[in-house]
Structure 1
């Protein structure tokens, strides 16, 4: 009798059960940010800041992500992702999650943060809390600063419902009586003046008793609410309720029908404030009849409605944080450290000639990057500067240096990405400024955002030209470099310099893809190379060699990368992923991903570095990149990924990755069901915070 052979059914790694939904994963990141508002290890004002950031992030989530899903449905472009969820299913889950989370956000504000702030003599005064002196001052403020700017709109056939600006503060008012023309409409809209601050500080001298001294604020919404009846003389206000509508703010430009990208973008920016409605926030005491009226006017339904117990835009509380001088309630300031391998007494070019330089911001200073450009602008030996700009800020030291260089006769070429979301207007301004100074400005490649972070300085040394390069994982933005973690790398390696030169040729000129020696670059080689490196690690494991992959990025969504990581895990490769935000990979599935750990670090600084480490059978390789492990970065953007070849610098980056893997306080570990569990030190275990350790090791106290 023959023996029956049982064969296991191969695991289909393309099955939707092995993938998490991108949008829902993104939402989980925002929830982790909100949780920081409850974390008493953060100073109190920083906890309030996290609450504001959550509000700002959720706005953008609706402006872009929810808008994209809604557009798919509206234009019958529904397309399920690797997770298999239909866009409508995703929208339904978003509604369910956001309903609970927004309610929790306001509960954290009202029940935890505001009482804690009041104990510190920081108050946000409601109308019933105003004393007589304050009330007199507020009335004067209304009459002199608010009333002259307000244009109340009574609703009738000659005054239709107005077009309201995206995220603007408005009031719907129920009226009784007739106006001077005999009209009896019953409803009006009050748009709050956009030029006025939403948070107003009450002068200290208006708080005469000791218990009321401190920092006292009122909301503009309270001022308008208090004196709304004076905007409708002779009529009776039956109710006044604040509301806000969030619109689709993602710009759409038809690249095939656009002769001038800058002009097309300028035209599109004007319409951003009036895109399709995505969400309605309204005061929770607003009557159903008025809420339904607004929903009808905005073509929204109950799933798009949020009734809130407080101001409709909590991100505006940031305005108050900047007016409170309480260093005891905020993180202690620090001075970013100066890299030890850069001799600031010498030319920065001499320092780079001696050895490659690596900096980790914000723990180490961004100043050397700016200094490199400033020196290049003045150095008579420098003949040309090439630079990419994605986000850099309207008042940029980097741009100032580029302007000086152009005026000093250097050949300055700048690739500005005009389509950097929500920075388009600043980038248009910077492009015009650079052109006026004599720089050559180009807008990258049609259809591909230029997200690479590159600076190339060409210097005449003797009879030859020498190339000096800066590459980074983050933007050329000095402000961001104080709050985002990013690597900067400086080198004069000939091969890397030639590679960067070729990337700029592709960005500014035309022709076939050029052969590049050391860099990986999207959309040409980066995606393929990362998969090859993962597969090589899998081959090491199959050969019985130690195998380890560590990857740190902001997002991991690309299905082929995920499948390659699953196969590596199946072969026994230990895979450690530090993914701040979206992650579509499911860890911990038996037979698929039990060797994969995914963690997200949420702390004082926004994690932004992209680092890819491969053990490679003992011949370690480590790369830093501008690209996340996402479809848009790997397939639809211009990105660069560069090797770190110095053993000393490699060892340093490996140690810093290990610190993140050891974090047991600010790490959130992804579970196979898509939820995250916060790490906590075991009993008797030392508490480890990666960012605090890096701050202590690399930065200087003030």
Structure 2
């Protein structure tokens, strides 16, 4: 039987953002957290337009013209619907409820005399000195407008001091100004009253153009293609080339234009012309043009009852006693860490112990995203200062983290660490930390492998699995990966690790085939995969064929999934569900069973999603969990609760829609929080 067509990747990404938006509409989610989900949708959609939609536009130009145009129109239409629904949730559901709780966003008309006086003083003291309006004429062309910056377009009447009748002006708003300002208690007693910077400027626009009449105006914001293009084969110094590229990224090709709903057509048409955009790229929004900035309101609001209850990740005392050397503990067996339910601090402590240990000879680590402040990076710098051999593989092309990574690379090099940037044409996405220690007359290696980044902040927000081990196979393979990244030698055969771009894709396909073969033979046949995205056509093809063979397949896919489940005769044995909850699902778990025996199953943890880019354009690793007790723990914590989640889970339909499974069942994340009791 022919296999069905794959679902659209772009529409699958939008479907994920619709699931995030659904969180903002849930009555059982605290109000400020509902507002946070509104902000997350905006942040996600910014990246969608900056990266994915920009690539989609480029691909559409080179494909079948009619088919590409239809798909482009369908994706653009769905993006418009999603953003309209986002603002409806903000205006009709979230903000009215916040107002009832005494948290207000005051427009100019809502402010009383004392509040207007305070805002007026704030404008003249903090805002007006930084604004430079530009009237457009032949000697003042349309200015460069940076990606995602806040701006006003103003239509003016009358003439200026030089007799010019320039009718259009642009006001660029500096990024250093706060977008949300809380009014002091003396002018807003008994309330938590906020004003948006845009409202402050709007109320004083006439002061920026003395003697002129402000006839019309609008906020606007342009989203640009932000993919950082560097020809790695043609540069002598990748770091220098990327730093140069960071300055030009802000002015890439325009992709989307946002204006407020009240913007006159003549102004929006003028802006579309300036940015060379079609009408379909215009988004008229019923509210602030950048809801991401409302995170500042969430941070300033004093309302603990309107947030998630505090959760402090637990230190795994029974498995990793604080008063004992981590090296000594790992000599007894591997340790599995489940973040954010368990603390990330043991990973930091593992590195700090290595830095302070005089028997440690070398430390090697990969860095993809670590943030601008990182105790791990500070520890590596300290190790290099102490004279230890430190090698750090810094991925300079980690999107939107390039500048932070460049800065860390420069600091590491300044203290003598060996810094390498991986392999030309491939991003280093594997998460590895390797310590080599002298023990008696021999050397012993210890390693940490992870599904997530070495970032203590996001480790409190993302679900990930970390694996501390002294296993000789895993640590030898980890060392081989570092040797590959640092030198020009050939690839060594791995003892245990699967590695992209070499063996991971092929071996994953072989395991799916093995399960399919077991199903055809009437043996137990089971696949459970938890990934962030499933878009690789070859793996989808194999999963479909395994379903046809009778294998039972459960896929827990947080984001884009291009496989259409539940189709008779093709994917009827495949169930796809997505969990969107308090924490961002990020762990990757691959479970395969092809019989009834203890040796007829394997479970891998991985840094890679089931996407072509992860399999062929990145350095990735997957490692087996050989310890039966740890393997069962992964199943019990990372698959079973998610397959029975009746609160945060949604099940994918054959057409790509998602339906909520229930509202009164268990939440996998809440169950894990209760289990660890942080």
The TM-score with structure 2 as length reference comes to 0.98
Structural mapping, 1:657-676, within 5 Å: 657-676=639-658
1:665 to partner: Cα distance = 1.2
1:55-84 Cα distance to aligned partner (Å, 9 max, x none) = 1100110000111122234xx53389xxxx
Q: Does 1:639 align with 2:620?
A: yes
1:633-666 deviation per Cα after TM superposition (whole angstroms, max 9, x unaligned): 0111000000001110011111121110000111
Matches within 5 A, 1:146-185: 146-185=127-166
Deviations 1:498-545 (A, max 9, x none): 110001000111121111010000000000000111111111111211
Q: Paired residue for 1:107, among 76, 80, 88?
A: 88
Contact 1:29 1:582 in 2 (8 A): yes
Q: Which is worse superposed, 512-521 or 90-99?
A: 90-99
Rounded to whole Å, the distance in 1 between the matches of 2:585 and 2:33 is: 16
Query: Residue deviations 1:580-613, cap 9 Å, x none?
Result: 0011111111111100000000000000000000
Deviations 1:647-702 (A, max 9, x none): 10011111121110000111111111111111116xxxx611100001110242xx
Aligned-partner SS, 1:612: strand
Q: Distance in 2 between matches of 1:89 and 1:584?
A: 18
1:287 aligned onto 2:264: yes
Distance in structure 2 (CA, Å) of the matches to 1:175 and 1:424: 41
Partner of residue 299 from structure 2, selected from 299, 322, 330? 322
Q: Is the 8 A contact 2:432 2:478 kept in 1?
A: yes
Corresponding position of 2:277: 300
Aligned residues: 673
Contact 1:52 1:317 survives alignment (8 Å): yes
2 CA distance for matches of 1:474 and 1:343?
23
Partner Cα distance (1:278, 1:578) in 2: 32
- Post-superposition Cα deviations, 1:400-439, rounded to whole Å, max 9, x if no partner, equal 1111111111100000000000000000001011111211
How do 1:555-594 and structure 2 match up within 5 A? Answer: 555-594=533-572
The 5-angstrom pairing of residues 91-240 of structure 1 reads 91-208=72-189, 213-240=190-217
Matches of 1:338 and 1:115, distance apart in 2? 40
1:689 equivalent among 660, 667, 675: 667
The answer to whether the 8 A contact 2:519-2:594 is kept is: no
Alignment of 1:39-438 (within 5 A): 39-73=26-60, 76-78=61-63, 86-208=67-189, 213-339=190-316, 340-438=318-416
Distance in 2, matches of 1:504 and 1:699, equals 37
Counterpart position of 2:661: 679
| Contact preservation (8 Å) 1:442, 1:508 | yes
Equivalent-residue separation in structure 2 for 1:287 and 1:406 (angstroms): 60
For 1:694 and 1:627, locate their aligned partners in 2 and report how far apart those are by CA, in whole Å. Answer: 23
> SS at the partner of 1:649?
helix
- After the TM superposition, list the runs of 4 or more consecutive aligned residues in structure 1 that deviate by more than 4 angstroms: none
User: 1:35-56: CA deviations, max 9, x gaps?
Assistant: 1100111111000000000011
Q: Write the distance in 1 (CA, Å) between the matches of 2:303 and 2:408.
A: 35
Q: How does 1:486-565 map to 2 (within 5 A)?
A: 486-565=464-543
Asked if 1 retains the 8 angstrom alpha-carbon contact of 2:225 and 2:254, the reply is yes
Distance 2:533 2:333 in 1: 32
Does the 8 A contact of 2:367 with 2:393 survive in 1?
yes
1:216 and 1:230 mapped to 2: Cα distance? 25
Q: 2:361 touches 2:388 (CA, 8 Å); kept in 1? A: yes
**Tell me, what secondary structure is at the counterpart of 1:555?**
coil
The 8 Å contact of residues 69 and 87 in structure 1, kept in 2 or not, is answered as: no
- Please state whether the residue corresponding to 1:322 is helix, strand or coil: helix
Q: 8 Å contact 1:622–1:650 — kept in the other structure?
A: yes
Q: Does the 8 Å CA contact 2:523/2:594 hold for their aligned counterparts?
A: no
Q: Partner residue of 1:604?
A: 582
Q: Determine if contact 1:341/1:355 at 8 Å carries over to the other structure.
A: no
Q: Contact between 1:555 and 1:628, CA under 8 Å: does it hold in 2?
A: yes
Q: Distance in 1 between matches of 2:44 and 2:587?
A: 19
SS at match of 2:595: helix
Structure 2 unaligned residues grouped into runs of 5+: none
CA distance in 1 between counterparts of 2:10 and 2:159 reads 49
CA distance in 2, matches of 1:247, 1:165: 8
Per-residue deviation, 1:90 = 2.9
* Cα displacement (A) at 1:12: 3.0
- Tell me the secondary structure at the aligned position of residue 477 of structure 1: coil
Counterpart secondary structure, 2:250: helix
After TM superposition, the score normalised by the length of structure 1 is 0.95
Identify the match of residue 37 of structure 1 among 24, 46, 69. 24
Cα distance, 1:214 vs structure 2 = 2.3
Q: CA deviation at 1:86?
A: 4.4
Question: 1:476 & 1:79 partners in 2: Cα distance?
Answer: 42
Contact 2:474 2:497 in 1 (8 A): yes
Aligned with 1:472 (options 409, 434, 450): 450
Q: Decide whether the 8 Å contact of 1:248 with 1:276 is kept in 2.
A: yes
Shift of 1:291: 1.2
Q: Secondary structure at the match of 2:62?
A: coil
Cα deviation code 1:179-236 (max 9, x no counterpart): 110100111111112210111111111124xxxx221110110111100101111111
* SS in structure 2 of the partner of residue 107 of structure 1: helix
What is the SS of the residue equivalent to 2:369?
A: coil
Equivalent residue, structure 2, for 1:12: 2
User: Of residues 425, 444, 461 in structure 2, which corresponds to 1:447?
Assistant: 425
Distance 1:482 1:107 in 2: 30
Say yes or no: does 1:626 pair with 2:611: no
- Contact 1:146–1:193, Cα closer than 8 Å, also in 2: no
Between the aligned partners of 2:268 and 2:312, the Cα distance in structure 1 is 50
SS in 1 for 2:76: helix
Give the whole-Å Cα distance in 2 for the aligned partners of 1:95 and 1:389.
Answer: 35
In 1: Cα distance, 2:312 partner to 2:580 partner: 21
